[in-house]
Each structure stands twice: as C-alpha cells, then as structure tokens.
Structure 1
C-alpha cells in the first residue's frame, strides 16, 4: 500500500498507457479511420461569418450597399491621376491594355 501511495500521478498514467499500449494504438487507429470516413461530409464556405447583429446600423448600411451595387467579388480597379493619361500616345497604350485584358476568358468585365 505504501508503494502505491509513493507513486506520482504521471507515473500511474504512464504505467497504464504502457501496459495497455496495443489497446490505445487500436483505439487511435479506429478513431482515425472513423473520422476519415466522415471527410465526405465536410463543406467549405468562402463567405465569412456575420458577427454584427442584423439590426446594427453598419450591417443595415452594408445590406443597402449590396442592394445598389450587387454582391462583392474579386475586383481589380486600376486608376490613375496622371494628366499624361489623356495624351494620345499614353491613352492608346491604356486602351490597348484594356482590350488585351478583355480578351482573357477569366475576366468578366472591363470598363
């Protein structure tokens, strides 16, 4: 009895694991196979969770914005404040760039 009381907690846990290692290994393998079989039920979402309440003013403004401008997506905006843009040579190069971008089948709209 004195010997059992002198053993620490982790020594007891280690002894249980080592004496029953085949059972633990079998249990881990069984758990891994069971979880792997559930892989077909996993669904991924590209939308983020809405953490703001639906009645919050920021959320109401955002929903109003979506009604006006539509759903957000992958958008690239190229802008320039350069006054040289409206010179014939630079404007022609910019127009050529836009035409080449519009030819790509992955691009939905060039404005």
Structure 2
C-alpha cells in the first residue's frame, strides 16, 4: 500500500507542489485578516450571575481600568525646577490623542469662596511656570494646607507624588494604546534622566501593554527555538541538508 502511495506522490509531484503553493497563498491571504484583540478575555459566560453583577456594577459606577499612574519620590519634589518639569510633563501628556485627563501636583485645584456671587469656585493653585523661589514656597504651603490631597496625590513624609493619567476607553482597547504608552514612557524617562529621579509606572493600561509585548517577544523566541531544535534533530538523523531544509520550510509555512 505504501509503495503505491509513494508512486502516486512521485508521479504527481508537480501537481502536488502547485496545489501546495496555491493553498499557501490562500492561507497567507486569509491570515492578513487576522487581528489581535485588545479586549480582555471573558472567562465566565454571559449568563453567569457573577458576570451579570459585574456588568451591572460597571454600568452604575463606571470602570477604573483606564488609569495609568506615574510616581516619583525625591526631596527635590517642591523645587521649582522639578515642579515645573513635572507640570510640563502633565501638560504634554494631556495633549496626546486618547488621553482624557491628567492629574498631578502641578495642576491641583483649590476650592475658594465667591462672596460676591455666594458660591464656591475652583481655582488652579499653580497658574503656570514658576520663576521665583518665593512663589514656589507659597504654592507648596498652599498645597500642604489642603488635607484632601495628602496621601492621594502627594506624601510629605516620603516626598512622593503621583501623576494619574486617564485614558479614553475607546482608545484603550485598540492598537493605538501601545504607541501612546510608548510616548508616555519616553517623555517620562527624559524628565527622569534630566533630574536624576526614578519614575515608577503602574496601572492596568501599562500592565496590559507590558504583558502583551512580553508575550509577543516570547512567542517569537519560542518559535525560533523550536525551529532550531527541529532542524538539529533532523540533521542528526539524516546528516544531509535537503532532508532538513524542506521539512523546516513546511513547518514554517504551517
């Protein structure tokens, strides 16, 4: 039986190669429509009670998975040089496509009383670049007088502060998320090198991007190593190039 099968293959090898080539082109064309999903996998079925309660919770209170956080800790936190650059970084990130809001120690608001109109108004504590040390001291004292931000935006004891970056959820689950995260890291790293402070990163958008990039690199590494190991094993058995080359080509095409 196997002799007849091999004779059929050898006598029709041109036709088989043509069919293999056509099928390869067809699969490559269909593969061009494959897209990577940036939405988290849904483990539970849509009819599960926990999944239903989770969706109900999101519809009432929203979703907090669109926040990225940058943090620094340095005694130079309230120096005008670092304060200005930290505020400038927040302003630059605010202008990026897909960023809804950026909150940092440089753009905090103070609730003040409007006696004329008998209402409360929000006034930004820092109105722009700080040029004098006395102005910086005044802003620092005012920020420290507001207990609402203590432990939320800054910590006086550890000289730490954070910057909260709110992503547009429409951009968050698209391929545009990666370039936005990359731009944020580049701008933050530039400021970090300028002042010699370490910037820490956290938040679900950053973690998801870092994990997806890690998985992508590991997938390429695993594929390359598997092809290399297969080639070495085939070469040990056959001791020739052709019996190794064509099976490896078939594996790569597959």
Q: 2: distance between equivalents of 1:29 and 1:15?
A: 21
Structure 2 gaps, min length 5: 104-254
**Distance (whole Å) between structure 2 residues aligned to residue 56 and residue 38 of structure 1:** 37
1:50 aligned to 42, 52, 67, which one? 42
1:71-108, Cα deviation, whole Å (9 max, x unpaired): 844x421245x5858x6327724333322322444533
Once the two structures are superposed, the pairs formed by residues 12-27 of structure 1 within 5 Å of their partners are 12-27=4-19
Ranges in structure 1 where 5+ consecutive residues have no aligned partner? none
Normalized against structure 2, the TM-score is what? Answer: 0.29
1:101 aligns with 2:89: no
Task: Give the 3 Å change call, closer, same or farther, for CA 56–38 of structure 1 in structure 2.
Answer: same
Larger radius of gyration: 1
Cα root mean square deviation, aligned:
3.7
Match of 2:62 in 1: 69
SS at match of 1:14: helix
Going from structure 1 to structure 2, the CA distance change for 1:109 and 1:13 (only over 3 Å counts) comes to: farther
Partner Cα separation in structure 1 for residue 13 and residue 23 of structure 2? 15
TM-score w.r.t. structure 1 length? 0.54
Distance 1:19 1:30, change over 3 A: same
CA distance in 2, matches of 1:83, 1:29: 62
Check if 1:92 corresponds to 2:46: no
* Aligned positions, number: 98
